[in-house]
Amino acid sequence: MSKQTYLTGITTSGTPHLGNYVGAIRPAIEASRDPANNNYYFLADYHALIKSQDPAMLGQSRMEIACAWLALGLDPEQVTFYRQSDIPEIPELTWLLTCMTAKGLMNRAHAYKAVVQENTDAGSSDPDKGINMGLFSYPILMAADILMFKATKVPVGKDQIQHLEMARDIAQRFNHHYGEHLVIPEVVVEERAAVLSGLDGRKMSKSYGNTIPLFETAKKLRKSIMKIKTNSQEPGEPKDPEGNTVFEIYQAFATPAQTDELRKQFAEGIGWGDAKQQLFELIDAELAEPRERYNALIAEPNEINKILTKGAEKARVHSRALMDDLRKAVGIA
Ligand code: TRP
């Protein structure tokens, strides 16, 4: 197989939590170690601006997420790791693509439609209430991220499949009109990517407020884990691991043998406190070292900025070349 270019964006809103780690960060970092491919990872801070309009929070989240990926082993020498906003060619390409995108296509975007639906359900007289143009044209910015670096494979969660189809549509239309300049990307859906439950048993998500942060102190991590909702079964009563949040999170960090052992203890009636203590110890063992690296990195924001700026320089070799080509193609060179 020829060399593939993998590219994925991380929206910089919120503080990274265990669900992000298990579902996205850990598998992506594993994949990034494969020298057979080109890998682009970027902090989608322009995307974050659509929803997060608190400058201090945006800056903090971006720094936390950058440090988390680096602390967990992303190697900026091996991959291209950068901030979206450090690539001025991205908004340029976004505009060229905007002029090649049917408004009707954007009308069908799920993220936009979901808010229209909420407004309608709430009985609002304005279906577009609270919707800015960033949200409406979000898929075009995302298409620019992808097409800029000629990505062939884009690993995303299921909720992003439609955005990938739109990126393909937009690229095809551009190529049809101006000639074959853009590479048509393929979506890679992380079917196996684990979805972690949160403190209340629903999917761990910032929007439910049920997350366990990735890099809090060991003491706080333990406290969070002790808050996981369990039923009122007493120690000694056999417990069902199926659909149990403690068991499920344990499984996401354990070897198969460790998981079997906990399953046995559930059958033997382990108390919730003991089960949670084991969960804490397991997670802490995996995260203790990265946590130290994270704390060291976050204390050196200038170093992080240097790494990201270097990543952007690497990326811009390609984005400049493509934009030169495209400016000629559309007649504004
Ligand atoms: N929209 C993606 C998400 O919310 C983040 C993202 C932005 C992205 N640009 C991208 C993902 C380009 C893949 C490729 O998860």
- Alpha-carbon distance values, 227 to 47, 210, 220 (Å): 32, 10, 11
Beta bridge partners of 9: 42
How many CA atoms lie less than 13 Å away from 29 in the CB half-sphere?
17
Is it the case that residue 279 has pLDDT exceeding 80? yes
Q: d(Cα 282, Cα 254) in Å, to the nearest integer? A: 7
Query: What is d(CA 303, CA 299) in angstroms, rounded to the nearest whole number?
Result: 9
Above 70 in pLDDT, residue 306?
yes
Domain locations in the chain as residue ranges: 4-196+300-330, 215-295
Question: Does the structure show a pLDDT above 90 at 267?
Answer: yes
24-80 pLDDT, tens digit each: 899 899 989 988 999 999 999 999 999 999 999 999 999 999 999 999 999 999 999
Percent of the chain whose pLDDT exceeds 90: 91
| CA 68 – CA 86 distance, rounded (Å) | 19
Task: Give residue 207's pLDDT.
Answer: 86
The alpha carbon of 202 and the centre of ligand 1 are apart by a number of angstroms equal to: 23
> Is beta strand 153-156 parallel, antiparallel or unpaired with respect to 80-83?
unpaired
Domain 215-295, CATH homologous superfamily name and number: Tyrosyl-Transfer RNA Synthetase (1.10.240.10)
DSSP codes of every residue in 74-125: --TTTSEEEEGGG-THHHHHHHHHHTTS-HHHHHT-HHHHHHHHHHHHTT-S
Average pLDDT over residues 177-192: 91
Q: For residue 2, what pLDDT is reported?
A: 81
Name the one residue in this structure whose structure tokens are 């992080």: 304
CATH architecture of the region 4-196+300-330:
3-Layer(aba) Sandwich (3.40)
Spatial separation of the C-alpha atoms in residues 295 and 300, rounded to whole Å: 9
- pLDDT over 70 (residue 1): no
Instruction: Report whether pLDDT(193) > 70.
Output: no
Rounded to whole angstroms, the Cα distance separating 232 from 246 reads: 14
> How high does pLDDT run on average in the chain?
95
Ligand 1 atom 11, closest CA: 9
Lowest mean pLDDT among 185-194, 285-294, 306-315: 185-194
pLDDT band at 101 (very low <50, low <70, confident <90, very high): very high
Q: Atom 3 in ligand 1: which residue has the minimum CA distance?
A: 11
Rounded Cα gap, residues 41 and 74, in angstroms: 9
Rounded CA separation 25/276 (Å): 24
User: What is the pLDDT averaged over residues 8-37?
Assistant: 91
Pocket lining: 160 vs ligand 1, CB cutoff 6 Å: yes
Specify the pLDDT at position 192.
63
Single pTM value for the model = 0.93
pLDDT digits (tens, 9 = 90+) for 197-243: 999 999 999 889 999 999 999 999 999 999 999 999 999 999 999 99
Cα R_g (the chain), whole angstroms: 22
Mean pLDDT across 160-185: 98
Band of residue 190 on the pLDDT scale cut at 50, 70, 90: confident
- C-alpha 11 to ligand 1 mean position (Å): 7
Q: Assess whether the C-beta atom of 187 lies below 6 angstroms from ligand 1.
A: no
DSSP state letters, 242-307:
TT-HHHHHHHHHS-HHHHHHHHHHHHTT--HHHHHHHHHHHHHHHHHHHHHHHHHHHT-HHHHHHH
Report DSSP state, residue 25. Answer: I
Instruction: Note whether 236 and 269 are within 8 A (CB).
Output: yes
pLDDT at 319: 98
pLDDT in tens, 149-164: 999 999 988 889 999 9
pLDDT tens digits for range 85-96: 999 999 999 999
Angle CA(197)–CA(203)–CA(209) in degrees, nearest 5?
Answer: 100
Atom of ligand 1 nearest to the CA of 10: 5
**Cβ-contact 198, 204 below 8 angstroms:** yes
The whole-number pLDDT of residue 23 equals 87
Mean pLDDT of 175-196: 90
| Pick from 115, 160, 116, 163: nearest CA to 139 | 163
Q: Tell whether ligand 1 has an atom less than 6 A from the beta carbon of residue 8.
A: yes
pLDDT tens column, 106-153:
999 999 999 999 999 999 999 999 999 999 999 999 999 999 999 999
Rounded Cα gap, residues 169 and 171, in angstroms: 5
Task: Report the nearest atom of ligand 1 relative to the CA of 11.
Answer: 5
By most ligand atoms within 8 Å of CB, the mutation choice from 47, 51, 83, 207 for ligand 1 is 47
With 0-12 / 13-18 / 19 or more C-beta atoms within 10 angstroms meaning exposed / middle / buried, residue 77 is exposed
Ligand 1 within 6 A of CB of 156: yes
| Alpha-carbon gap, residue 119 to 129, rounded angstroms | 7
Question: 32: part of which helix (H) or strand (E)?
Answer: helix 26-32
**Residue with CA closest to ligand 1 atom 5:** 9
| pLDDT, position 13 | 87
State how far the Cα of 23 lies from the Cα of 8, in Å rounded to an integer: 14
Averaged pLDDT for residues 253-279: 97
